[in-house]
Amino acid sequence: MSVRINHIISEIKDQYLFDDNANRPWIIGFSGGKDSTAMLQLVWLALKEIPSELRTREIHVVCNDTLVENPIITEYVFKVLKQIEHAAVEQGMPIEVHITIPRLEDSFWVNIVGRGYPVPNNAFRWCTDKMKIKPTSRYITEQVVENGEAIILIGTRSAESATRAKSIKKHEIRGKRLTNHPHEHNTFVYSPIKELLLEEVWYIVNAMTSPWGADNSQLFKIYTDASADDYECPTMVTDKSHSSCGQSRFGCWTCTVVQEDKSMAALVEKGQLWLKPLLDLRASMVEERNISKNRLPYRRNKQHAVTKDGHNQGSYTDKYRATLLEQILFAQREIQEHKPDLELITSQELVAIQVVWHKDLCFTYRVSDIYNKVYNKEIDMEKINDKMQKEIDLLKGVCDDNSSDFDLIQELLIMQKNKALLNKKRGLKDDMERVIEKYLKKETENVH
């Protein structure tokens, strides 16, 4: 076993030093699971054998946080990433740590509670692209733009499954270690541990000392407590060959693609009772997904979505979106009795949801009312209101009390702020033109 492991370390060292293009950074997809941990350990050990003056190639340890990961995994992974960052500086390693997250408009809750997307299933699995592939692709693109090319190191193993073995073989350049990335231009994939067996991975994690000082026994305990299928859901996804978390041990706690979240259920059974609200909320989302009264008869693109027997299959109704937000906040409040700093849904997402509701002409329900109801308190709006009032007074003064001009500019400003909040400027010009046309039409009618 040690001979095979030493051979891999030697190969990694050789690839690092004698690659054709020494400027190509290495991007390591790190999930904190057994395979990515074993791979990074071997890369680190290979670097230690290289003189410091020759460690010129940058190595980026990249972890994708979907914002709805299993909280136990998130807590562990973030702790390990800090240790990696600190140890890299101490040991003079050319290693940087980066965490990617989905854009606000692509987050799980903004799409479900805001836009009314039904929770994912096998037929409509929109989540992987928005929450995993896009954030990682943006990061890879940035590196390629800066350096011309990039190499991604992925901790996939041929022994894991026939599907993964086929995927690895399919994209290999014969006789070379690097394979072409199937989707990213000027990007290559390197799978240094693809030949390792499961017992060898666990040997590296359990028997070899972590070079960044982590206690790998914690990782082993997490796997033991969440015992289910022996499979790790990849936290860094670069293409759809990695998209399935169907039998995943660890993944998003909100995942409704799987029939049962075995890992979460196992953690609850083994004493992590504070996770039960998450388990219950997920079960509720699965159960209520296809109830006709929760769905509209059309999709967001206004396409008809009613079955022959009259069952609605469109977006979620305004009422159900508000109900679901209330369920999320109740679960969050319950969780925070044990983990005060843990948020299931962020403040930015709450604001973005309200923006989407307004755009969808949903004025019956307000995010602040639902929040205040759940937490039994009023959101402090004094500072916000004071700032807004100053802006309004200034705007009125500029418009010389012309209410029509004031209304037009106010509406355009709100539209621009909403687009900026959602980081989505596309369509802003057309939206503004429509508002101005409406204003001019109204002015013309007043004249006549």
pLDDT at 244: 35
Per DSSP bridges, beta strands 179-180 and 187-190 are antiparallel
> Could you tell me how many residues make up the chain?
448
CA distances, 66 to each of 31, 108, 235, 415, 443 (Å): 12, 8, 8, 27, 47
CATH number at residue 20: 3.40.50.620
Closest CA to 185 of 150, 153, 146: 150
Whether 275 maps to a domain, the answer reads no
State CA 50 to chain mean position distance: 35
Q: Which residue has the tokens 């039998």?
A: 247
Whether 279 maps to a domain, the answer reads no
> In the listed set 341, 375, 409, which residue is the last one of a domain according to the structure?
375
24 DSSP 8-state letter: P
**What is the CB-side half-sphere exposure of residue 280 using CA atoms within 13 A?**
12
Cβ–Cβ under 8 Å, residues 61 and 40 = yes
Of all residues in the chain, what percent are helix, strand and coil, respectively (each to 5)?
55, 10, 40
- On whether both 62 and 192 belong to a single domain, the answer is yes
Other CB atoms within 10 Å distance of the CB of residue 281: 21
> In the listed set 352, 375, 398, which residue is the last one of a domain according to the structure?
375
Closest CA to 152 of 125, 131, 183, 195: 183
- On whether both 343 and 367 belong to a single domain, the answer is yes
- On whether both 369 and 386 belong to a single domain, the answer is no
Distance separating alpha carbons of residues 202 and 363, to the nearest angstrom: 54
Distance separating alpha carbons of residues 418 and 354, to the nearest angstrom: 10
Cβ neighbors of 253 (< 8 A, separation 6 or more) are 68, 69, 70, 71, 261, 264, 275, 278, 282
State the total domains in the chain: 3
What residue type is assigned to position 350 of the chain? Answer: L
Cβ neighbors of 104 (< 8 A, separation 6 or more) are 110, 348, 349, 352, 421, 422, 423
Whether 151 maps to a domain, the answer reads yes
Distance separating alpha carbons of residues 412 and 158, to the nearest angstrom: 55
Domain that holds residue 408: 382-447
pLDDT at 363: 86
Whether 408 maps to a domain, the answer reads yes
Phi, psi of 150 (to 5 degrees): -150, 155
- On whether both 410 and 355 belong to a single domain, the answer is no
Residue pLDDT, tens place only, 277-314: 999 999 999 999 999 999 999 999 889 999 999 999 99
- On whether both 349 and 439 belong to a single domain, the answer is no
Whether 271 maps to a domain, the answer reads no
- On whether both 208 and 323 belong to a single domain, the answer is no
Other CB atoms within 10 Å distance of the CB of residue 112: 25
Distance separating alpha carbons of residues 64 and 99, to the nearest angstrom: 6
Can you read off the two tokens belonging to residue 336?
Answer: 């925070």
Decide: pTM greater than 0.95.
Answer: no
pLDDT at 203: 93
pLDDT at 19: 67
pLDDT at 182: 82
Q: Which residue has the tokens 């073989």?
A: 169
Distance separating alpha carbons of residues 83 and 159, to the nearest angstrom: 30
Cβ neighbors of 362 (< 8 A, separation 6 or more) are 318, 321
- On whether both 435 and 336 belong to a single domain, the answer is no
- On whether both 133 and 191 belong to a single domain, the answer is yes
Q: Based on the number of CB atoms within 10 Å of its own CB, is 2 exposed (0-12), middle (13-18) or buried (19 or more)?
A: exposed
- On whether both 195 and 315 belong to a single domain, the answer is no
Distance separating alpha carbons of residues 15 and 25, to the nearest angstrom: 12
> In the listed set 375, 393, 410, which residue is the last one of a domain according to the structure?
375
Whether 15 maps to a domain, the answer reads yes
- On whether both 392 and 363 belong to a single domain, the answer is no
Cα dihedral sign, 261-266-269-270: negative
- On whether both 173 and 259 belong to a single domain, the answer is yes
Residue pLDDT, tens place only, 243-286: 333 333 567 999 998 878 888 888 898 899 999 999 999 999 99
What residue type is assigned to position 402 of the chain? Answer: N
CA distances, 239 to each of 135, 152, 164, 179, 185 (Å): 11, 12, 13, 14, 12
Can you read off the two tokens belonging to residue 148?
Answer: 């011309």
Whole-number CA gyration radius for the chain: 25
Whether 134 maps to a domain, the answer reads yes
Distance separating alpha carbons of residues 245 and 251, to the nearest angstrom: 7
pLDDT at 418: 55
Whether 284 maps to a domain, the answer reads no
Distance separating alpha carbons of residues 360 and 13, to the nearest angstrom: 55
CA distances, 266 to each of 198, 217, 238, 257, 279 (Å): 22, 18, 29, 18, 11
129 DSSP 8-state letter: I
- On whether both 299 and 253 belong to a single domain, the answer is no
pLDDT at 246: 33
Other CB atoms within 10 Å distance of the CB of residue 30: 26
Distance separating alpha carbons of residues 206 and 197, to the nearest angstrom: 14
Residue numbers in the chain where pLDDT is lower than 50? 174-175, 228-239, 241-248, 380-385, 388
